[in-house]
Structures are given as structure tokens and as C-alpha cells.
Amino acid sequence: MPTEIKSLTVKDMDDAGRGQARIAVLSAVDHDGDTYMPGAFSWKEGGQWVSILPAHNRSAVPLGKARVYEDGDAALADLYLNMKSEVGREWHSTLKFDLENGNPVQEWSYGFGVLDSQIEQRSGDRVRVLKRLDVHEISPVVRGAGMGTGTLTMKSRGSFAERIEAVLAEIDDIIERAGDIKGLREAQGREMSKARLDQLTELKNRLDAMLAAGASGNQPDRQAQEEAERLAAEFHTREARSRLRL
């Protein structure tokens, strides 16, 4: 089951490390063309408890935990940062500063798997109705970090093999989305945009270059690992910001 990522909005954060985030308005159709059935998040008694991770990095020490549940037409998450850990205190200071000084520039998102869904046509648009979601984690992602730089690449990202597996999972998800959107565009008589084709061509060229260098023995393992980590960071950043449009 591939992991998907969507943005969310943090409403507040107190001095004890507790906050609340709005994940979704159930009845609305979001910019990904998804909407939610009541109970999509709250199908477990008491809600879903998940880890708070930095930048969706599953190999990192959690910053705390969160309870995901529904209240009326909203899906919410109560956040609990671990103030007894150094990493929890550091992120708490960063998040409080961001919320209290000017317009917040911090981005948040959550990772989830789709357990049950269906496709509907609404006013001529293809809408995915998410009926049951398995929320994996919630993550603060620093805005402006850039693809492959800043916060994402400073974190421990696991072994080379683990990062390759993560990239492959992301590619599988992109291929699945591309196939769904391609079918919709063909039905509407439209083609994939040049910008998206350029993105895919750039990705292919980078992977081809890394494979060629590895086959010739000219690229040390560390350099190959850094390149794989950079590619993985790009995927995670694009997904977290929900800006990959095909």
C-alpha cells in the first residue's frame, strides 16, 4: 500500500508542547481532487495515534505523538511534542517562534495509506472519495528548505538500500497517479504539460547518469548514496508541498 502525503494546518502550540492541527474538511474537495466520507479518519475507537516525525523521516527520533480524530465536518489532530527530549524542545522552540512572529512560514503534512476509496463523477470532474485512511505520521517540514537541501538532507536518512527502496515506493505512487490523471486527460482530449514532461525527463537523466557512473566504477559508494538521498529528498519535498502536478 503506497504512502500518500497531504498538507495540514497547525492552529496553535502552547508552552507545554501541545497543539492542534486541522487535517481536512471532510465535505470539501481538496486540490488533489479528493474528498472524505465521515469516519475516514475516526474508524478506530478513540482515534488514530501516530508519531510526529521531522520531514517524514521514518528513521529519525519522533518529536512526539498525535491523536487523529473527527469533530463534525473536520478532521483534527491533537499534537503532543516530547518536551523531555532535546529534539522535541528544539522543534517546539522553532514552531512557537514561527507561530508567534508574523505570518507562519512552517509547512506541515501527514502521511497516510488508503484502505478504502471509490471514484465518483461530480459536476463532470473525477473525484476520489476516501472512505477509510490509515494515518502513518504527521510531520513539520521547513518551508524554503529547497529540494535536496536544508532540513531534509541534514537528517539521518538510513542506509543506501533503504533510501533506494523509499525512492522506488515514491516512484510507484507517482506512476499510479500519473496513470489515473493520464486516463482523465485522454478522456478530456488533453496532453501532459511540457513542464511535467521536463520534470520526468530530468529525473530519468539523473538516474541514468548515476547508473552509468556506478557501472563504470567511477563513482564511490558514498557519492552514490548522497545522490540517492538527494533524489529521495526531492520526492519527499514535492509530495509534502503537494506541488507535483501531472
Tens digit of pLDDT for each residue in 165-175? 556 656 665 66
Give the pLDDT of residue 207.
80
Most confident of 105-119, 142-156, 226-240: 105-119
Give the pLDDT of residue 177.
58
Give the pLDDT of residue 245.
39
Q: With 70 as the cut, is the pLDDT of residue 200 above it?
A: yes
Rounded CA-CA distance 132/114 in Å is 6
Range list of H helices, 70-189: 86-100, 151-154, 160-187
Confidence of residue 144 (pLDDT cuts 50, 70, 90): very low
- Lowest mean pLDDT, pick from 10-19, 123-132, 212-221: 212-221
Give the pLDDT of residue 230.
57
Rounded CA-CA distance 114/136 in Å is 11
- The residue whose grid cell reads 494515518 is 135
Residue with more model confidence, 146 or 159: 159
| Mean pLDDT (the chain, rounded) | 75
Q: With 90 as the cut, is the pLDDT of residue 116 above it?
A: yes
**Half-sphere exposure for 228 (CA within 13 Å, toward CB):** 21
Q: Rounded mean pLDDT of 191-201?
A: 72
Q: Rounded mean pLDDT of 71-90?
A: 93
Q: With contact defined as beta carbons under 8 Å apart, do 165 and 79 qualify?
A: no
Q: Answer yes or no: pTM beyond 0.85.
A: no
Rounded CA-CA distance 134/213 in Å is 40
Confidence of residue 163 (pLDDT cuts 50, 70, 90): low
Tens digit of pLDDT for each residue in 36-63? 999 999 999 999 999 999 888 888 999 9
Confidence of residue 216 (pLDDT cuts 50, 70, 90): low
Residue 229, phi then psi, degrees to nearest 5: -65, -40
Rounded CA-CA distance 140/67 in Å is 15
